[in-house]
Amino acid sequence: MAWVSKRRSADGSVRHQGRYRDPFGEKRTAGTFSTSREALKAAMKAEGKVADGTWIDPRGGTITFREYAEDVWLPSRHLEVSTRAGYVSYLRNHFVPFFGAMTLARIMPSTVQDWVTRAVEQGLSPRSIAKYHVMLHSVFSRAVRDRLIAFNPCEDTELPKVVARRARTLTPEEYTSVLAEVPDRFKPLVMTAIETGLRWGELVALRPRHVDFLRRSITVEETIVEVSRKDSPTGERMIVKAYPKNDEPRTLRVSQALLDVLASRIAILGLGRDDLLFPSREAVGGQPLSRATFNTRYWRPAIERSGVDFNVRMHDLRHAHASWLLAGGADLKTVMERMGHSQIMTTQKYLHTLPDADDKALAAFESVSRRST
């Protein structure tokens, strides 16, 4: 029920304040007026908006984007360490410089469109802009739910077109050329990557206890997340996380040849059950290997020396693993489980990615068609 409270101003005159309760039961003011009738009318109007769900918290006109994003939206998210660190980085580098001092109520669709235009001018790729826009949309969606703004200004934003490019997959012959140029100390790492398809964080988190020599398998139950110290919630750059992506450990069969390589490595280095298989330094109790350091010092030089004529990332060994499995006849479900994918659609993108896949498909068609002649 709306009501009116009286207040005496500094000049001795009586002022009337319209009062009501918001959707959360908090007392609110609808403004101060010279008459009780005006105050009650304003309070009843605000109360009507509460009743029909159109009420907007006036704080939307005072709280800034930075305050809301950093103090309300981000703390409310349940995120993996690496994802949270990424969001902190996006806020600092891309959103706060543009939106930070603006109040939420001031940010319009045209404001968001201006941000997109500026991002394009600064050289951000269409794919990156689309990714950042998803996060920005989430911030404003939460503000709508909190009734700080009436609509999401990220709706109907015109984004630059993302042109999908067909990725080239490393062939077995190209892989052999690359492996020959990788320093000997890292060959076991690369051989494990191509045979298991592990993500980098899963790969560098492997320990001798994860290798079952009797069952010829490797169990993935940890991952190491590498983040910038300034974006890390703990201040640490390398964070060990129990269970990898999707929170499910998985076990993969591997060849005896790889097991022999890993057994030799464990014996030569004298590694204990809980030591890292691929540490930054070849020593017991070594620290996790940095992806950036490995790429800069060892992987990219090896690619250049190999003569492979396209950019190959270490992560592309994971893509090659899936493509080789499917090209060799493995079923999608098995490859999905081996890769640790949560959706089979993710696995399907590796079908027909080898250069000769179309030739093999045509050969299979001709083989079947000849049966009728």
Tens digits of residue pLDDT in 252-274: 999 999 999 999 999 999 999 99
Helical residues (DSSP H) of the chain, grouped into ranges? 36-52, 65-68, 74-76, 81-90, 96-99, 109-121, 126-145, 172-181, 187-196, 200-203, 256-269, 291-294, 300-306, 316-327, 332-339, 344-348, 357-369
Phi, then psi, of 252 in degrees rounded to 5: -120, 135
The rounded distance, in Å, linking the Cα atoms of 47 and 53 is 10
User: What CA–CA distances, in Å, run from 23 to 46, 104, 151?
Assistant: 11, 20, 18
Q: Which helix (H) or strand (E) holds 16?
A: strand 14-21
What is the tens place of the pLDDT at every residue in 290-330? 999 999 999 999 999 999 988 999 999 999 998 888 888 88
| CB atoms closer than 10 angstroms to residue 340 | 20
Q: What is the pLDDT of residues 44-63, one digit of tens each?
A: 888 877 777 777 777 766 89
Spans of the chain, pLDDT less than 70: 60-61, 229-235, 243-247, 352-373
Q: What is the sign, positive or negative, of the torsion defined by CA atoms of 91, 92, 98, 100?
A: positive
CA distance 144 to 67: 15
Q: State the pLDDT at residue 181.
A: 97
Q: Give the number of other CB atoms < 10 A from CB of residue 356.
A: 10
